Structure 1
Amino acid sequence: MLFFLVRKYSESKGDKFMEDKKMVRQQIREKLKKLSTEYMQESDEKIQEIILELPEFKRAETVFCYISVGKEVSTEKILEECFRQGKTVGVPLCTEPGIMEVREIKGMEQLENGIYGLLEPKKDTLLIRKKEIQLGIIPCVSADLCGKRLGHGAGYYDRYLSDADFYKVLLCRRKLLWEKIPTDDYDVSMDLVITD
């Protein structure tokens, strides 16, 4: 069984080739439609196993993690293990267009339906400040092996992560990786890309 852990490395300064983000998203979505349920379940298992063995995960007392939806890499086991170990768990809450904050939950029962059909923490949950977080587990549409992330285009994560000092881990299925993600100045690179 082969696992891939890809640490961020610096990319060539001379490489000026950039692809259009919209085109990449479209092609990735076409690829996503063709992925089998079996493959997605297997990749979910592998990726979550790797996360749970990371030294950064084991050391972290406060973990920021997205709540997976649809065909995103599942975070169910990661969250369950955080609760089991007594870690402080923060999940995203969208507060206005393009803006989110992180709220603490102590169990999945503290989630409710929010915007875009996502599960979000209830409004009475406690705010977690960025400086309290040691590890962030971040979703994507696609990524490359340099730690460049392609999101859905709304900018929630890039805005939130722009001044975040915690260790940022991106989850991406191997079949959805892209050779070189086009980026802008405001795009935030990840510290680690985990794939199956």
Structure 2
Amino acid sequence: MPSTITAEKASLRRQALDWLASLSPQARAAGDQALFRRFLALPQVASARTILLYHGMDTEPDTVRLLPPLWELGKRVCLPRCLPGNQMEARLVQRDSPLIRHPYGMLEPGTDCPIILPDQIDLVLVPGLAFDRSGGRLGRGGGYYDRWLSGCSGVTAALCRDGLLMESIPRLPHDLGVDLVITETGLYGPSLSLTGKSGA
């Protein structure tokens, strides 16, 4: 039942947040470096023309560090902008684009940055608290990405610390998973072997 799944997800969120709170700054930084190296080495990054990142905050990977290397690779890079009603849009950012602090704490592109439609984006880096090996995603409960991704045909990927790769994440009908789950030591997803890991 949906109420049972909602309760299970709330419990998993608490577990994930407790685990993240136990990480030292040094462990977090080392994990970020490994995750970013593996992300930038993906063939899906090499082939993508336009990529949607998110601006990591608090215990999330510091994904703003991915902007310079992606620009150096000649990629068009977007960041999300939150809209009323738990909606979002993607806007193109460049080196000189000013970013605005949202009340939630993340930095967003301003309205002067061009809107990029979901069907124009080749690769989306999707945030989440935890993931499972089949691409299941545990978000923070706002539903922004589930709504936005319904109109996107690009590849979806996620950065997941090894300690937050769960056995199984329960899903409601509207919950969308991701194609690729990248950890510090492995690569998982619905089209990959559930027992194997990709190379470093």
Q: Normalising TM by the smaller chain, what interval?
A: 0.7 to 0.9
Structure-2 change in CA distance of 1:148 and 1:108 (3 Å)? farther
Instruction: Specify the alignment match of 1:81 in structure 2.
Output: 69
Highest relative contact order (Cα 8 Å, sep 6+), 1 or 2?
1
Shift of 1:171: 0.8
Instruction: Check if 1:131 corresponds to 2:119.
Output: yes
Gaps of 5+ in 1: 1-16
Instruction: Specify the alignment match of 2:193 in structure 1.
Output: none
Instruction: Verify the 8 A CA contact 2:97 2:109 in the aligned structure 1.
Output: no
Runs of 4+ in 1 over 6 A off after TM superposition: none
103-112 or 178-187, larger mean C-alpha shift: 103-112
Instruction: Specify the alignment match of 2:102 in structure 1.
Output: 114
Paired residue type of 2:40: L
Structure-2 change in CA distance of 1:96 and 1:129 (3 Å)? same
Gaps of 5+ in 2: 185-200
Instruction: Specify the alignment match of 2:32 in structure 1.
Output: 44
Instruction: Verify the 8 A CA contact 2:119 2:151 in the aligned structure 1.
Output: no
Shift of 1:189: 1.2
1:20 is paired with a residue whose SS is helix
Instruction: Specify the alignment match of 1:171 in structure 2.
Output: 159
1:58 is paired with a residue whose SS is helix
- Aligned-partner Cα distance in 2 for 1:145–1:85: 29
Structure-2 change in CA distance of 1:108 and 1:25 (3 Å)? farther
Shift of 1:108: 6.3
Q: How many residues align?
A: 180
Shift of 1:168: 0.2
Instruction: Specify the alignment match of 1:56 in structure 2.
Output: 44
Structure-2 change in CA distance of 1:61 and 1:69 (3 Å)? same
Paired residue type of 1:70: D
Paired residue type of 1:176: L
1:116 is paired with a residue whose SS is coil
Paired residue type of 1:67: H
Shift of 1:66: 0.4
Q: Which of 130, 137, 143 is 1:149 aligned to? A: 137
Instruction: Verify the 8 A CA contact 1:147 1:193 in the aligned structure 2.
Output: yes
RMSD after superposition: 1.5
- Aligned-partner Cα distance in 1 for 2:177–2:100: 30
Shift of 1:77: 3.1
1:193 is paired with a residue whose SS is strand
Instruction: Check if 1:32 corresponds to 2:20.
Output: yes
Under a length normalisation based on structure 2, what TM-score does the superposition of the two structures give?
0.86
Shift of 1:78: 1.9
Instruction: Specify the alignment match of 2:128 in structure 1.
Output: 140
Q: Which of 92, 95, 117 is 1:104 aligned to? A: 92
- Aligned-partner Cα distance in 2 for 1:86–1:108: 15
Instruction: Verify the 8 A CA contact 1:174 1:195 in the aligned structure 2.
Output: yes
Shift of 1:109: 4.2
